[in-house]
Amino acid sequence: MLSGAAEVALENLEEQQAAAQGVSFFIAQGDDGADQCSYGNYSDHGINSGDNTASAYAVDVGGTDFMAQYNQDVHGIPISRYWSAKNQPGTLQSALSYIPEIPWNGSCASKLIYNDPVNGGYDGASGADGFCNSSYAKSNYFVDNAAGSGEASSCFTGKASIYGVVSGTCKGNPKPSWQAGVPGIPNDGVRDQPDIAFFAGYGTWGSLYVECLSDRAQGGTACTPYNDAILLGGGGTSFASPAMAGIQALIDQKHGRQGNINYVLYAIAAKQFKEQAKDACNASSVDGTLPAAGCVFNDITQGDNSIPCGENHKGKFYDCPAGTDRDLGVLTPTTKSTTLAYKAARGYDFPTGLGSLNAAKLFNAWP
């Protein structure tokens, strides 16, 4: 959301001070696709990054989801290749291997969702015959802007002339020196977001985070296996960000406080893309191939963080060329009307940044 220059400056100062004191600061990139100012079930303010996540002193964490269900629906690869039908005793582990990943996107604008034959196998999302305007999408909660956020910094300084819309004197945070050396990083002169991504699925493809309600004052129970624990489900980058902070805590235990780790993350990623074969770290394989053993970053190459768009309360459309007063469109950069906002691709991309992490490989690769 556009929260004002004074608040943005204060948050940036706090994150700068944290980095100077050796504290690694992680922030959830957002859960609204490429429009962090949308208020309803679709984008109504155009593409914008949300100014309070664009600091160069924080690690922005986006979201991924598991690809197993999609691969079964579309490519016939059984889920049993990745998941056991039963949990292992004690640990309750059921994953059999690394599971291919895609950007977290639960909206009707996701190409993977509207192409899936289970959802009708639509050719597109917008227009009267598009998936977003179908009764199936509306009745099954796909008309939603729930997706991992990511885009170029847009209103880090200046003031919008239209509230919630990139306009007026809005300018993005200049690109930090460390955001370089990786294929796909845009030559746009501003801070791009997110930096990395982590699992954030909330059930669209059959996987989500399990929460345990343990506060007895709120009716909770002990969170131990095989008891009557009260379990809830959830997802989003607000789960992904603290998960990454937990990984960093393990690194800090070995190496001490690290401060702004973006310097290290981008350097490791640049090294990986120079040394590994072109598709060796592809994390979105449709034939079951997993990333190579030497990959620290799992490179998400399929999917997008596109969300539906429509008119706002004043009857205006922003970055929504296919939207009408009756039908939803798909969020699109205004200068490239045929390009979704945004697709995952090799290297850096707006839906997932550098990609997700192999935590053990990152721990061992840390300089």
pLDDT in tens, 154-176: 888 888 898 888 899 989 999 99
Predicted TM-score (pTM) of the model is: 0.93
Q: Which CATH architecture has domain 5-64+100-198+243-365?
A: 3-Layer(aba) Sandwich (3.40)
DSSP three-state, residue 5 = helix
Decide if 339 contacts 333 (C-beta within 8 A). yes
Instruction: List the one residue out of 260, 319, 240 whose CA is nearest residue 45.
Output: 319
Q: Is the dihedral of CA 186, 258, 14, 209 positive or negative?
A: positive
Q: Residue ranges of the chain with pLDDT lower than 50? A: 1-2
- Each domain of the chain, given as residue ranges in start order, spans 5-64+100-198+243-365
pLDDT at site 307: 94
What's the confidence (pLDDT) of residue 236?
Answer: 95
Residues present in the chain in total: 367
Strand ranges for 144-268 from DSSP E = 151-152, 192-193, 196-199, 209-213, 230-234
pLDDT digits (tens, 9 = 90+) for 34-85: 998 877 789 998 998 876 778 999 999 999 999 999 999 999 999 999 999 9
Of 113, 97, 201, 150, give the one whose Cα is nearest residue 345: 150
- pLDDT for residue 337: 60
Mention every residue, 6+ apart, whose C-beta is less than 8 A from residue 283.
Answer: 100, 101, 291, 298, 299, 300, 301, 355, 356
